[in-house]
């Protein structure tokens, strides 16, 4: 089923609203990048979609089995190996021990980390830890995958490699992905659509379609990145006032 947000609002206590009148529809299997200035409510919106926060107003529809969540920090358990971290998510789903081991191996293979299954997080690079975190998210077997700036702390080369990996995995698994970022280039690289949230209160103020031509023509991609960047700067300047 699609993800539907209708007139969604969020306010903490008596403070000013963080989100107000958010409207968006995300189709099943679609990859949508959610862009906005720091503090505009992107993470709060993701938390509401994940069921970690309740909206103050409005309504939302998400798949009945909920959502898997991937954070900026890999949040792996340091005393568990890569495989055991993935197996834990399977165990919480009630998957039996023998099947857990097989499935975890398949997921680590999917993220190209089969050879690192028995390593602990401190033995892995930042990019490898994020791959394990992605495998663990996929182990939850939810149609909707929410990603909150998962590559923000990585160097540019590692980030580009993981962009390729994430695109491949998205196409192989058919997941619906909502990817939060403040990096315009990343949003255009990954998203089929880019949604821009205004500065507080956050609402969807513009969206852009990223076509196959943008993916194959660096010039077109650069033009779109420039257009979105200029619009984002408008929102940042408005917030600063």
Measuring CA to CA, which residue among 84, 132, 71 is closest to residue 107?
Answer: 132
Place of tokens 């993800």: 3
User: Crossing angle of helices 82-92/97-110, nearest 10°?
Assistant: 120
Q: Are residues 29 and 124 in the same domain?
A: no
For 86-144, the pLDDT digits (tens) are 999 999 988 888 899 999 999 999 999 999 999 999 999 999 999 999 999 999 989 99
Q: Are residues 231 and 218 in the same domain?
A: yes
3-state secondary structure of 196: strand
Measuring CA to CA, which residue among 61, 67, 63, 47 is closest to residue 141?
Answer: 67
Q: Are residues 116 and 201 in the same domain?
A: no
Measuring CA to CA, which residue among 190, 241, 208, 196 is closest to residue 37?
Answer: 196
Phi, psi for residue 100 in degrees, rounded to 5: -60, -45
Count of domains observed in the chain: 2
Sheet of 204-209: strand order equals 67-70, 144-148, 176-181, 31-35, 193-197, 204-209
pTM for this prediction: 0.92
Domain containing 177 — which CATH number? 3.40.50.300
Overall average pLDDT of the 51-60 stretch: 92
Q: What integer pLDDT is reported at residue 39 of this predicted model?
A: 80
Q: Are residues 221 and 175 in the same domain?
A: yes
Q: Are residues 84 and 95 in the same domain?
A: yes
What are 145's strand-pairing partners?
68, 177
Q: What integer pLDDT is reported at residue 241 of this predicted model?
A: 63
Q: Are residues 93 and 55 in the same domain?
A: no
- Asked which of 141, 163, 187 is the last residue of a domain, the reply is 141
C-alpha–C-alpha distance, residues 185 and 188, integer Å: 5
Domain range holding 135? 75-141
Q: Are residues 160 and 224 in the same domain?
A: yes
Given a contact cutoff of 8 angstroms between Cβ atoms, the answer to whether 148 and 181 are in contact is no
Q: Are residues 62 and 150 in the same domain?
A: yes
Q: Are residues 49 and 90 in the same domain?
A: no
- Asked which of 141, 161, 182 is the last residue of a domain, the reply is 141
For 188-208, the pLDDT digits (tens) are 999 999 999 998 788 999 999
> Alpha helices of the chain — where are they, by DSSP H?
42-50, 82-92, 97-110, 126-139, 156-173, 184-190, 212-216, 218-240
Q: Are residues 103 and 220 in the same domain?
A: no
- Asked which of 125, 141, 157 is the last residue of a domain, the reply is 141
Q: What integer pLDDT is reported at residue 14 of this predicted model?
A: 82
Q: Are residues 15 and 37 in the same domain?
A: yes
235 or 8, higher pLDDT? 8
By the 10 Å C-beta count (0-12 exposed, 13-18 middle, 19+ buried), 6 is classed as middle
Q: Are residues 156 and 137 in the same domain?
A: no
Q: What integer pLDDT is reported at residue 152 of this predicted model?
A: 87
């Amino acid at each position: 089923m699609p993800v539907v947000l209708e007139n969604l609002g969020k306010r903490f206590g008596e403070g000013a609203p963080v989100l107000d009148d958010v409207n968006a529809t995300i189709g099943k299997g679609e990859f949508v990048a959610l862009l906005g200035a720091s503090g505009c409510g992107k993470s709060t919106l993701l938390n509401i979609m994940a069921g970690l926060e309740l909206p103050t107003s409005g309504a939302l529809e998400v798949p009945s089995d909920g959502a898997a969540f991937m954070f900026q920090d890999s949040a792996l358990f340091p005393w568990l190996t890569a495989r055991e971290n993935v197996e834990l998510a399977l165990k919480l789903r009630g998957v039996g021990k023998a099947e857990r081991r097989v499935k975890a191996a398949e997921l680590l293979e999917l993220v190209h980390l089969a050879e690192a299954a028995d390593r602990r997080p401190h033995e892995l690079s930042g990019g490898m830890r994020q791959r394990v975190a992605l495998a663990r998210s996929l182990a939850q077997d939810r149609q909707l995958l929410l990603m909150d700036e998962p590559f923000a702390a990585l160097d540019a080369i590692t980030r580009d490699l993981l962009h390729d990996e994430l695109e491949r995995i998205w196409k192989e698994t058919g997941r619906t992905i909502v990817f939060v970022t403040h990096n315009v280039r990343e949003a255009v690289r990954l998203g089929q659509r880019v949604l821009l949230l205004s500065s507080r209160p956050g609402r969807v103020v513009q969206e852009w379609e990223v076509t196959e031509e943008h993916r194959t023509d660096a010039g077109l991609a650069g033009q779109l990145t420039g257009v979105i960047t200029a619009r984002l700067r408008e929102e940042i300047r408005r917030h600063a006032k």
